[in-house]
């Protein structure tokens, strides 16, 4: 993937979040660079809440768009996920 054409990706995550681990693993497998911020840090948590209005993990910011990613149940296709935009 051409990194020059890829928007900046920021992931707010927690160390124990299985969806966070799955998202980061998938991005890494695809060769997509991302920055990670740990929501267990109160300052980072406040930043994420202020920026997106939500307190869930993972929160993914792609360029200027906030996204919430929820992995589907195992019987769903493995490469599909539900995506919803975060209102600001």
Please return the burial class of 49, using the count of CB atoms within 10 Å of its CB with bins 0-12, 13-18 and 19+.
middle
**pLDDT string in tens for the chain (88-residue length):** 555 677 889 999 999 999 999 999 999 999 999 999 999 999 999 999 998 888 889 998 888 776 665 555 444 444 444 444 444 4
Which residue in the block uniquely carries the two structure tokens 């939500």? 54
Instruction: Report the predicted TM-score, pTM, of the whole model to 2 decimal places.
Output: 0.70
pLDDT at 83: 46
CB-neighbour burial class of residue 23 (10 A; exposed 0-12, middle 13-18, buried 19+): buried
Distance (Å, whole) CA 57 – CA 16? 10
Return the pLDDT at 55.
Answer: 81
**Which positions ≥6 away from 63 have C-beta within 8 Å?**
7, 8
- Please give the Cα distance from 80 to 76 (Å, whole number): 7
């Amino acid at each position: 993937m051409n990194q020059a054409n890829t928007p900046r990706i920021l992931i707010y995550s927690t160390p124990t979040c299985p969806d966070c681990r799955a998202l980061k693993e998938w991005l890494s497998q695809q060769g997509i660079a991302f920055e990670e911020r740990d929501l267990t840090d109160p300052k980072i948590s406040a930043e994420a809440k202020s920026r997106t209005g939500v307190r869930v993990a993972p929160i993914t910011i792609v360029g200027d768009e906030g996204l919430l990613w929820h992995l589907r149940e195992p019987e769903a296709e493995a490469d599909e996920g539900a995506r919803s935009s975060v209102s600001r």
